[in-house]
Chain A
Amino acid sequence: MSDAPVHIAIRHLTKRFGAVTAVRDVSLQIARGSFTTLLGPSGCGKTTILRTLAGFYEADAGDIFFDERRMNDVPSHHRHAAMVFQDYALFPHMTVFENVAYGLKVGGVRGDALRQRVGRVLADLGLAGLGDRMPGMISGGQQQRVALARALVMEPEILLLDEPLSNLDAKLRVTVRAELRQIQRRVGITTVYVTHDQEEALAISDRIAVMHQGEVVQYGTPWEIYYTPQRVFVADFVGTANLLRGRIHEVEAQRFTLELAGRKIRVESPGKGLRPGEEAVLNIRPEAIEIGSIPPADPGPNVLEGVIRTHTFVGQWVRYWVDVSLGPEAAPHEFVVDVPDPRERGILEGRVFLRLDPRKIHHLQGA
């Protein structure tokens, strides 16, 4: 995927609304045929970028390129970047067929060619037979497909999706998400997807651009984003983070240690660029922490003692909030621990021991 040529290039894009800078000097290169997600909390600028790509907003600074062509001054109706809107934006006064046919008609497609192309897309998306219905007469999931059909029928090179699943209920969202991914793979269309749902982003994307306050803070594969977040914000926003703020103690070739309120946390990864004495933040995911009610037989490094404050059971795993007292003066440090498949062991209570796997601790830059 990374070998594919760049299809969409965003260079130093800035967009302001009055005094608010919605997007600040963002540069992104999106590969042809890839599925790229702009992920971030509301107000982070992700939708602004998408709408700038569609041509609904104009850049205050910076450039947008589709292939080699600069798009800044191309009006939205000449961009050929089909968009699926969050509220679907189906024309309420047209039937499903007319909605899907609209763009082709504007483009001068008529008669049999029109009927065939619309019919094929409707069939592909499981909408055959709904052509005569009005948008108000079909379900939310079907409306969502019509919106997608209306975009896909244009056979665009670029597909822009603005939180298209946010109006569906949870179960349907997962199904449609998988379908969307399949269609995208099949058609090979370059797709830019906007969502605030980190799980959705991980599940569907080739690349994720995590955004925060108008800037892209990390751009990488879902794997990279989850396991090697570069910033505290990314670690915290995508998945659940256990942050350890301390001071670097020792640095060796393949390992280093962090001093945390007098305790040493060992990390088995190259501490490249780290110097003893400097402040650092580490992260460990909840599922990378082992938990037990008796001390581990082989104590090893990174064993901490704590008390379970509360827990929540969600079926496939149980999540514990554990208070670990790190020293007499320090406030207890809270760890979040996930234990998959809790059926055998039951729910733990009271005093517990945590072991932080030194190979699964990750150092965050730019805390």
Chain B
Amino acid sequence: MRVRQMKRLLREPLLLATIIGIFVALGLFVIYPVLRVLLYPGLRDFLSFPANDRYVTATLHTFVIVILSTASATTVGFLFAYTFTRTTVPWKGLFRSIAILPLFSPPFMIAFSYILMFGRNGLVTYTLLGARYNIIGWHGLWLSQTIAFFPIAALVMEGVLQSIAPSLEYAARNLGASGWRLFRTVVFPLARPGVAGAALLVAIYVLADFGNPVMIAGHYTVLPTEAWARISGWGDVTGAAVLSSVLLIPAFGLFLAQRYWVGRRQYTTITGKVVLLSLPPTPWYVRWPLFAFCALVSFLILSVFVGLLAGAFSRGWGFDYTPTLKHWQDVLANGRALIHSVVFAAVAATVSSLLAILSSYLVSRKAFPGRGLLDFVAILPAALPGVVFGIGYSLAFNAPPLDLYGTATIIILSMIFWNVPMGYQTGIGRLKQIAPSLGEAASNLGAGSLKTFWDVELPLLKSSLVSAFVVSFIRAVTTLSVIVFLVTNRNVVATFTILNLANDGYRGAAAALTTALLILTCIVLAVSRLLFGRNVELFRI
């Protein structure tokens, strides 16, 4: 089998070269950095882990917050998804639009804004309510992560709930089930695999989260922030590598469970048939509690943006709310970081989406030795917390022959390969909908593999390519965890500057710079919408 596949590949040298090139690239920029992290510390460093109180505390904290935030984010996400798909709650379209906003924001933004709103000098807590309340700590982290990650759960479960045909619900009603019984016996059991999948996905994000804890957790250290503290505070690379390696264990376990266990247990099938059965009206005692709940969560999301804007235009947070533009001078002063962010992310997203779509084509349509491996490695970065990725790059590419320390290249490379899974999964999903006979027809008419890809599959994958670009761009421009270990003065990007400004107490400037970053992201989104129409599917998770 293998031998015949190789023989066939040898007849298409260009295809063979492409496949080898992708393998080399993924091996060098995904596998190698991870191995560097795992192999950097010695066995003794790992064995002394339980003796280190700070490590053990961080591990326990991580464990607790993953359970808390996953539970809350999944619950909130399910209620939202249920509201969108199966109820007649008023304004549900508006709630949905608000709910996906956190997906477009830098991961630390929510935590940062909640400090402004609910912190010691918070606009709501101190100025409006006069309370001496401080959100910093585990409860602030819990709230931030819930708001940050419930949209992921909501989108996943929305897809699952949507694919449960309303006719099933009608059938159950026809058989006499209604209300709570209907939900308990029909809707929820059908949605259960989706709920489990959403929970695992959220857990992966919470576990890897760096931006929220570094902003709001205070002394409540988790593994990613402790790893960062080892390096930034003590220059202790070994310690950081040990913590990252330990972090990798649950991350990888969750990833495997999400992909290979839950991923195969979907009861629902997508038929592409549009079911135009209207929903039966939701009873008032369900409708209004759901309305109130969605309104509250929407308020919490919108308060993030209110806090940010207020912060960006107020003279002194907590005591002097006179409008000012002085923070925007700081933005201009940090123009270089902003430009870096946008340029690096644009370059990375272009390369990343093309590479991802090409890989998805090869895996879906071509037979070659190592196809399963390529599939695995292309998805793997999704399992790697940004901290692991960042530390891995800083360890792997700091000496010849690949000494990239402090260069733009290292940042762009990390952004490219960290985001490959986004475009790859989009591409695989889309290719499942494209009949393989199209490619075969082109081959039958004389086109080789790469020509077939270019002429037939790529044009049909255009919308996926654009989605992949947009998602990769947003993730690249907003990432903090990956680049925090790679930036120097020369290649500094905006998220890092924001972190430093916020940590040093320049909250107005941090807010203004975040706002600027958000505006740039919106511009890119708007342009891609204008260029490629509404059918750009975002966040296929």
Chain A interface residues toward B at CB < 8 A: 54-56, 58, 73, 75-83, 85-87, 89-93, 102-103, 106-107, 150-151, 154
Contacts and interface: CB of A to CB of B under 8 A. Distances in A.
Given A77-B445, A90-B441, 14 more contacts: A56-B443, A75-B448, A77-B446, A77-B448, A80-B446, A83-B441, A85-B440, A85-B441, A87-B435, A87-B437, A89-B437, A89-B440, A91-B455, A151-B444
Given A89-B438, A89-B441, A73 B446 contact: no
Contact of B455 (A81, A85, A102, A107): A102
A73 B444 contact: no
B444 A102 contact: no
What is the predominant secondary structure among interface residues of chain B facing chain A? helix
Given A77-B446, A78-B446, A107-B446, A92 B460 contact: yes
19 contacts: A56-B443, A73-B11, A75-B443, A76-B440, A77-B448, A78-B446, A80-B446, A81-B444, A82-B444, A85-B440, A85-B441, A89-B437, A91-B442, A92-B438, A102-B442, A102-B445, A102-B447, A103-B446, A107-B446
Given A89-B437, A91-B438, A73 B445 contact: no
A274 B435 CA distance: 53
Give the top 4 A-B pairs by smallest Cβ distance, nearest first. Answer: A103-B445, A89-B437, A89-B441, A106-B446
A104 B437 CA distance: 19
Interface of B: 4, 7-8, 11-12, 435, 437-438, 440-448, 451-452, 455-456, 459-460
Contacts of B443: 55-56, 75-77
Contact of B440 (A56, A81, A90): A56
Nearest to A74: B11
Contacts of A93: 459-460
A76 B443 CA distance: 6
Contact of B444 (A58, A76, A86, A87): A76
Contacts of A77: 443-448, 452
A73 B7 contact: yes
Given A91-B456, A106-B446, A106-B447, A73 B8 contact: yes
A160 to B, nearest CB: 8
B445 A154 contact: yes
Contacts of A154: 445-446
A151 B445 CA distance: 8
B449 to A, nearest CB: 8
B140 to A, nearest CB: 50
A151 to B, nearest CB: 8
B440 A82 contact: no
A75 B12 contact: yes
A106 B4 contact: no
A199 B520 CA distance: 66
B455 to A, nearest CB: 7
Residue from B11, B444, B456, B460 having most chain A Cβ neighbours under 10 A: B444
B343 to A, nearest CB: 32
Contacts of B438: 89, 91-92
Contact of A54 (B440, B442, B452, B459): B440
A233 B161 CA distance: 48
Nearest to A103: B445
Contacts of A91: 438, 441-442, 455-456
Nearest to A82: B444
Contacts of B7: 73
A90 B435 CA distance: 10
A78 to B, nearest CB: 7
B435 to A, nearest CB: 6
A58 B4 contact: yes
Contacts of A103: 445-447
Contacts of A80: 446
A307 B446 CA distance: 62
Contact of B437 (A58, A76, A78, A85): A85
Contacts of A55: 443
Contacts of B460: 92-93
A150 B441 CA distance: 10
Nearest to B455: A102
A75 B451 contact: no
A65 to B, nearest CB: 18
Contacts of B441: 83, 85, 89-91, 150
Nearest to A101: B445
A154 B460 CA distance: 24
Contacts of B12: 75
B459 A150 contact: no
A16 to B, nearest CB: 10
A214 B12 CA distance: 31
Contacts of B442: 91, 102, 106
Contacts of A75: 8, 11-12, 443, 448
Nearest to B438: A89
A165 B220 CA distance: 69
Nearest to B439: A89
Contacts of B448: 75, 77
B127 to A, nearest CB: 57
A270 B442 CA distance: 54
B437 A82 contact: no
Contacts of A150: 441, 445
Nearest to B458: A93
Contacts of A151: 444
A43 B441 CA distance: 22
B93 to A, nearest CB: 30
Residue from B437, B452, B455, B456 having most chain A Cβ neighbours under 10 A: B437
A131 B4 CA distance: 41
A154 B444 CA distance: 10
Contacts of B459: 93
Contacts of B446: 77-78, 80, 103, 106-107, 154
A163 to B, nearest CB: 12
B87 to A, nearest CB: 36
Nearest to B15: A75
Residue from A54, A89, A92 having most chain B Cβ neighbours under 10 A: A89
Contacts of A92: 438, 460
A91 B458 CA distance: 12
A351 B206 CA distance: 82
A87 B443 CA distance: 16
A154 B442 CA distance: 12
Contacts of A79: 444
A90 B456 CA distance: 10
A89 B12 CA distance: 24
A17 to B, nearest CB: 12
A54 B444 contact: yes
A151 B7 CA distance: 28
B317 to A, nearest CB: 53
A67 B440 CA distance: 23
A58 B435 contact: no
Residue from B7, B443, B456 having most chain A Cβ neighbours under 10 A: B443
